Amino acid sequence: MARHEFTPTVFYNTFGSHPPAFHVDPGDEIMTTTVDARGRDQHNDELAGRPNPQTGPFFVSGAEAGDTLVLHLDSIRPNRSLGWTTGCLAPNVLDFDYEPEFDDEVDLAEWKVDPTAGTVTLTTPENRLTGKSFELRPMMGTVGVAPDIGEAISTSTSGPHGGNMDYNRIKEGVTVYFPVFTEGALFFLGDGHALQGDGEMDGTGVEISMDVRFRLDLIKGHSIQWPRAEDEEYLMVCGNVRPLDQAVQHATTEMVRWLESDYGLTAREAHMLLGRVSEYDIGNMYDPAYTMVCKVPKAVLISLGLSS
């Protein structure tokens, strides 16, 4: 397994079959950087434009349509101290007739991110939150592959290929699985967040540039329909579509398939298990496509003697 350092110079605003930026073999370790959602790097220099410019694509040798791409996200670390957010929740997550009465104007709020202390602290504007420390929870808002039939999909949204799912458990240590639609899989990542509430309800997650380290692997001839993930606690499936109702449908159905194919459950057992222990998170309710996540606790699977 080789180790690579890759310094991106071209950034993409769509997930598509763009020319590979870097070729890797399955299992190789890649160290690279991502710019923030507005295209700014560790020096706050603007290298690319909106939305969510991506590092990549990484061409994985041997990957073909019908395979599954495996992402091991080994390290995510903010590489500058300045993060930013909006100052208000999005209109689509609030009542139709709600009109906030703000007593100030906020274009962008600024936050100081301190990886050593593990904190995120509001610096601007000045209000009751300013100077108070929140826990740093780095995550990648955007991970995905080139979509099917030659589509090029905006990095502001998501789909079966992944994309801007903004799910805050896509963090250090997570393993993510993607369907492969095209030769080389063509993996992209970007849109790092230092701290984001569920749903990215204000459209931002303390946006920041990142140093990332990851490995890409392949499961040959194994086909999935939606991005799956796992960490120490959970199996997770992301359903990416608007509205939330349908995102739940995709996530739940794919979780049934996962339990059947990898854990040996019958349809009946998978249904009965989810009825008892399913959990759900909102990944993103800001994008054109929303993300709902269906989770199953691994502890339950273990207690049932089930393993993949």
In the window 282-301, what residues touch a second copy (CB under 8 A)?
Answer: 282, 285, 288, 290, 300
Select the residue interacting with a second copy from 20, 27, 115, 125 (CB under 8 A). 125
98 in contact with a second copy (CB under 8 A):
yes
Q: In sequence order, what DSSP letters do the residues of 239-305 get, joined into one string?
A: EE-SSHHHHHHHHHHHHHHHHHHHH---HHHHHHHHHHH-EEEEEESSSSS-EEEEEEEHHHHHHTT
**Contact letters for a second copy, residues 181-220 (x by CB under 8 A):** --------------xxxxxxxx-x-x--------------
Q: Residue 182 and residue 63: Cα distance in Å, rounded?
A: 8
281 in contact with a second copy (CB under 8 A):
yes
**Residues 6+ away with beta carbon under 8 Å from 98:** none
Q: To the nearest whole angstrom, how small is the minimum distance from the Cβ of residue 224 to a second copy? A: 14
Window of 38-46, 68-76, 101-109, 208-216 that interacts with a second copy by CB under 8 A:
101-109
95 in contact with a second copy (CB under 8 A):
yes
- Tell me the one-letter amino acid at 81: S
Minimal CA–CA distance to 169: which of 144, 138, 125? 138
Q: To the nearest whole angstrom, how small is the minimum distance from the Cβ of residue 220 to a second copy? A: 25
Q: In sequence order, what DSSP letters do the residues of 84-99 get, joined into one string?
A: EE-SS--GGGS-TT--
- In degrees, to the nearest 5, what angle opens at C-alpha 232 toward C-alphas 226 and 234? 45
**Contact letters for a second copy, residues 248-267 (x by CB under 8 A):** xxx-xx--x-------xxxx
Minimal CA–CA distance to 122: which of 198, 225, 202, 2? 202
Q: To the nearest whole angstrom, how small is the minimum distance from the Cβ of residue 7 to a second copy? A: 23
* CB burial of residue 120 (10 Å; 0-12, 13-18, 19+): buried
Q: To the nearest whole angstrom, how small is the minimum distance from the Cβ of residue 218 to a second copy? A: 25
Minimal CA–CA distance to 260: which of 209, 296, 293, 233? 296
CB 141 within 8 A of CB 200: yes
133 in contact with a second copy (CB under 8 A):
yes
Q: To the nearest whole angstrom, how small is the minimum distance from the Cβ of residue 156 to a second copy? A: 9
Residue ranges in 136-165 that form contacts with a second copy under rule CB under 8 A: 149-154
Q: To the nearest whole angstrom, how small is the minimum distance from the Cβ of residue 285 to a second copy? A: 6
107 in contact with a second copy (CB under 8 A):
no
Window of 25-33, 100-108, 172-180, 207-215 that interacts with a second copy by CB under 8 A:
100-108
